[in-house]
Chains A and B, each alone.
Chain A
Amino acid sequence: MSRNHTYGFLIDASRCIDCRACLVACSVENDVPMEHTRIWMKGTGVMGKFPDLQRYTAPYHCMHCLDPSCVSACTVGALQQNEDGIVTYDDKRCIGCRYCMYACPFEIPNFEWDQRLALIVKCDLCVNRLAEGGQPACAATCPTQAILFGKREEMLALAHARIEDAPHRYVNHVYGEFENGGTSTFYISPVSFEQMGMPITDETRSPAHFNRLVTHGTPAVAATVAVAMSGAYLAIKRQSADNAAAEQASDGRPDDHE
């Protein structure tokens, strides 16, 4: 996809203190009630034996994939990738079919299950705040800078630099660099991402790519079917016209087509 992927997050699980200020900030800033949140906490739960207890957490929101599955799937194009690579959601278009929820490998799109006319809820990277020169609410609020926001390349470089500087503190994996074909949200963590409860996807290429391979082929297949069927119809019709007399004699049933 020929887009800029301007922005990125770096989320560092070793810095998160589970204060959930980001959740509150997102809710307030974007006017989203907490029960339809755009952002959650992932975590390890309590690990180890007393008194050697450990627990790691990290906020979890839309990864803003480079080739987003949800955008590829959305029936009516309510999910779009803008020119900065931000995956936005248009609540005027959405029909609530929930295909995006299944398509997203990170289970990000949330749904208003309790509403009569229900819509999807999804992080839009605070596009409105960005337009005003601000930072996403979650990153701006974080007291420990566990959520950093900036240029995508810088965030990625910083992720690798932190691991290199302190290899004993982090597992050697920048989550989000290759997951689902690459994303704009990078995680580094002292424990494996499986332990953090993050979805583990093997795909290094977005399923959206394979989806397009097929959907773009469909018109050609359809044209082939139409031509083949018309051809078969005409060929068989001509042949049966040739045999018509013989058939009529043996069958006794007049072939009265057209």
Chain B
Amino acid sequence: MLSKLFSELKRLPRYAILLAALTALGMTAGLYRLYAGLGATTNMSKVFPWGVWISFDLTTVALSGGAFTLAALVYVFHMHDLHAATRPTVLFGLLGYSSVLVILFFDLGRWDRFWHFIVYPNINSALFEVSWCIAIYSIILIYEFSPVIVERFGNNRLLEWIKKLTIPMVIAGITLSSMHQSSLGTLFIVMSPRLHPLWHSMLLPVFFLLSSIPAGISLIIIGSIVSDMLFGHSLSQRVLEKLGWLMPWFLGLYLALKLGELLVTEELGLLFSSGKYSLLFWLELVVGVIVPMILFSIKSVRWNRWGTLTAAMLVAAGIVLNRFDATWFAILPRQGVTYSPHWLELALLVGVASGVLLVFTILSTYFPVFVETMPTRKPQEAAVEAGRAERAPALSGD
């Protein structure tokens, strides 16, 4: 019995041990934070009451936008050849949101009251809306991922039943995502005295929603190529090309709105006059938007694996920088006080991120996460996967 378990565990890749160790360390840091309070374990202050944890949360939510974008493309716009990407993407989204919830828990001064948002609504509060949408959307993501688990245990009746709800659940998921992706931008509207005017805008909710779409797509592309390296499974270049083709449209619209807003509010001058802030803004737009927009417009780049990966990484980096700017770098200091994270803040982040990767590894080792993707090596294993998919054709079809 025990030896069977052991041999099962041996199927996990080696680096799982490293991930487990980092997770344990991070959780220790988290427990210490709960014990010692926020003052001793973080560098947050009255002037910077939010730190790198919030930056991480906003970044992760944006990068997890792939789940709702893909659901819209596949189920609403019937782009069925993207279907192969849904399982890994939904799983990434689910784990992304879970990590956000875990970090938020450690971030709250009264973590024992995290459930208060359910019973004490403030409908004016963007953070209230974000909490609700993320909570419900996490349930939808669990639902969207559930076929993978159910399939593993071969319960076809349950599977049929789950499939029947797909479309309404997907549309609810898209709606909730649009709401919380945009509301995360709304969060900063009330902070106008603190957020640099290059970032502060009444269009913040539109910017955040719009940018979460290319952010999500970029993560699908990166995830696919990384899983090729780790698990020997990937989306076909034909599918990646299709995703890449979408990018310039979203990035272009985002760029036009960003600059258009500065034009209308007569803040274009800030692009040159704000020193460090101008530089950050340019970096975001040139490296994260304009360059990948050009790259993705070139057909030969889209058909090239490394070209696609490079462009996708640039988009992701631009979004990461944008969310870090809005939550940290572009928050104006007061009384000369600035912020940089305490090592325990970083330790918790590393721990939670490792935990998420560990769960991803475990699930994709033991459950049919990659059934529809192309096996790129290890032919024997690929044959096993293919056989499994054949035995249950109805399951992989949708």
Interface string of A98-124 (1 = CB under 8 A from B): 110111010100111111111110000
Measured CB to CB, the closest approach of chain B to A209, in angstroms, equals: 9
Q: Are A201 and B109 in contact (CB under 8 A)?
A: no
Which segment, of A47-55, A163-171, A224-232, faces chain B? Answer: A224-232
Known: A113-B39, A226-B175. A97 touches B109 (CB 8 A): yes
**Any chain B CB within 8 A of the CB of A188?**
no
Interface string of B306-349 (1 = CB under 8 A from A): 00000000000000000000000000001100000000000000
Measured CB to CB, the closest approach of chain B to A198, in angstroms, equals: 11
Q: How far is the CA of A222 from the CA of B76 in the complex (A)?
A: 16
Q: Are B190 and A69 in contact (CB under 8 A)?
A: yes
Q: How far is the CA of A248 from the CA of B397 in the complex (A)?
A: 15
**Any chain A CB within 8 A of the CB of B294?**
no
Measured CB to CB, the closest approach of chain B to A62, in angstroms, equals: 14
Q: How far is the CA of A77 from the CA of B110 in the complex (A)?
A: 15
Q: How far is the CA of A230 from the CA of B193 in the complex (A)?
A: 40
Q: Are A233 and B171 in contact (CB under 8 A)?
A: yes
Known: A197-B335, A214-B202. A207 touches B193 (CB 8 A): yes
Q: Are A256 and B179 in contact (CB under 8 A)?
A: no
Identify A107's interface contact among B46, B117, B205, CB under 8 A.
B46
Chain A residues positioned under 8 Å from B121 (CB to CB):
76-77
Q: How far is the CA of A238 from the CA of B172 in the complex (A)?
A: 21
Identify B186's interface contact among A69, A215, A253, CB under 8 A.
A215
Q: Are A207 and B77 in contact (CB under 8 A)?
A: no
Q: Are B37 and A113 in contact (CB under 8 A)?
A: yes
Closest chain A residue, CB of each to CB of B393: A256
Q: Are B398 and A257 in contact (CB under 8 A)?
A: yes
**Any chain B CB within 8 A of the CB of A72?**
yes
Chain A residues positioned under 8 Å from B131 (CB to CB):
75
Measured CB to CB, the closest approach of chain B to A90, in angstroms, equals: 9
Chain B residues positioned under 8 Å from A255 (CB to CB):
80
Question: Using a CB-CB cutoff of 8 Å, which residues 186-232 of chain A contact chain B?
Answer: 197, 199, 201, 203, 207-208, 210-216, 218, 221-222, 225-226, 229-230, 232
Known: A76-B116, A76-B120, A102-B49. A222 touches B178 (CB 8 A): yes
Known: A225-B175, A226-B171. A96 touches B110 (CB 8 A): yes
Measured CB to CB, the closest approach of chain A to B50, in angstroms, equals: 6
Q: Are A215 and B124 in contact (CB under 8 A)?
A: yes
Measured CB to CB, the closest approach of chain B to A127, in angstroms, equals: 20
Q: How far is the CA of A95 from the CA of B120 in the complex (A)?
A: 11
Chain A residues positioned under 8 Å from B36 (CB to CB):
116
Q: How far is the CA of A190 from the CA of B187 in the complex (A)?
A: 37
Known: A103-B191, A236-B78, A257-B398. A95 touches B107 (CB 8 A): no
**Any chain B CB within 8 A of the CB of A145?**
no
Identify A256's interface contact among B39, B117, B398, CB under 8 A.
B398
Chain A residues positioned under 8 Å from B139 (CB to CB):
none
Q: Are A98 and B49 in contact (CB under 8 A)?
A: yes
**Any chain A CB within 8 A of the CB of B17?**
no
**Any chain A CB within 8 A of the CB of B266?**
no
Identify A110's interface contact among B46, B77, B127, CB under 8 A.
B46
Chain A residues positioned under 8 Å from B167 (CB to CB):
233
Known: A96-B109, A203-B193. A75 touches B127 (CB 8 A): yes
Known: A97-B127, A214-B202. A232 touches B77 (CB 8 A): yes
Closest chain B residue, CB of each to CB of A100: B49
Closest chain B residue, CB of each to CB of A212: B124
Q: Are A73 and B109 in contact (CB under 8 A)?
A: no
Measured CB to CB, the closest approach of chain A to B167, in angstroms, equals: 6
Measured CB to CB, the closest approach of chain B to A213, in angstroms, equals: 8
Chain A residues positioned under 8 Å from B75 (CB to CB):
233
**Any chain B CB within 8 A of the CB of A237?**
yes
Question: Using a CB-CB cutoff of 8 Å, which residues 78-97 of chain A contact chain B?
Answer: 78, 93-97
Q: Are B192 and A210 in contact (CB under 8 A)?
A: yes
Closest chain B residue, CB of each to CB of A112: B109
Chain B residues positioned under 8 Å from A113 (CB to CB):
37-39, 44-45
Identify B192's interface contact among A199, A203, A225, CB under 8 A.
A203
Q: Are A98 and B109 in contact (CB under 8 A)?
A: yes
Chain A residues positioned under 8 Å from B183 (CB to CB):
215, 218
Chain A residues positioned under 8 Å from B172 (CB to CB):
226
Chain B residues positioned under 8 Å from A112 (CB to CB):
37, 109
**Any chain A CB within 8 A of the CB of B182?**
yes
Interface string of B29-49 (1 = CB under 8 A from A): 000001111111000111101
**Any chain B CB within 8 A of the CB of A240?**
yes
Of A110, A112, A222, A255, chain B has the most CB atoms within 10 Å of the CB of A222
Q: Are B49 and A199 in contact (CB under 8 A)?
A: no
Closest chain B residue, CB of each to CB of A239: B78
Q: Are A111 and B116 in contact (CB under 8 A)?
A: no
Q: Are B37 and A115 in contact (CB under 8 A)?
A: yes
**Any chain A CB within 8 A of the CB of B239?**
no
Q: How far is the CA of A163 from the CA of B324 in the complex (A)?
A: 45
**Any chain B CB within 8 A of the CB of A146?**
no
Closest chain A residue, CB of each to CB of B107: A97
Q: How far is the CA of A257 from the CA of B394 in the complex (A)?
A: 10
Q: How far is the CA of A111 from the CA of B50 in the complex (A)?
A: 12
**Any chain B CB within 8 A of the CB of A74?**
yes
Q: How far is the CA of A140 from the CA of B264 in the complex (A)?
A: 50
Chain B residues positioned under 8 Å from A96 (CB to CB):
108-111, 113
- Interface residues in chain A, defined as those with a beta carbon under 8 Å from any beta carbon in chain B: 69, 71-78, 93-99, 101-103, 105, 107, 110-120, 197, 199, 201, 203, 207-208, 210-216, 218, 221-222, 225-226, 229-230, 232-233, 236-237, 240, 253, 255-257
- The 19 listed contacts between A and B (C-beta, < 8 Å) are A73-B127, A75-B116, A75-B125, A77-B120, A77-B122, A78-B120, A96-B111, A98-B109, A111-B38, A112-B37, A197-B335, A210-B192, A214-B186, A214-B202, A216-B123, A218-B183, A218-B186, A226-B171, A256-B397
Shortest 3 CB-CB contacts between residues of A and residues of B: A96-B109, A113-B39, A118-B109
- Besides A115-B109, A215-B129, 8 other A-B contacts (C-beta < 8 A): A73-B127, A95-B109, A105-B194, A210-B202, A211-B124, A229-B175, A233-B75, A255-B80
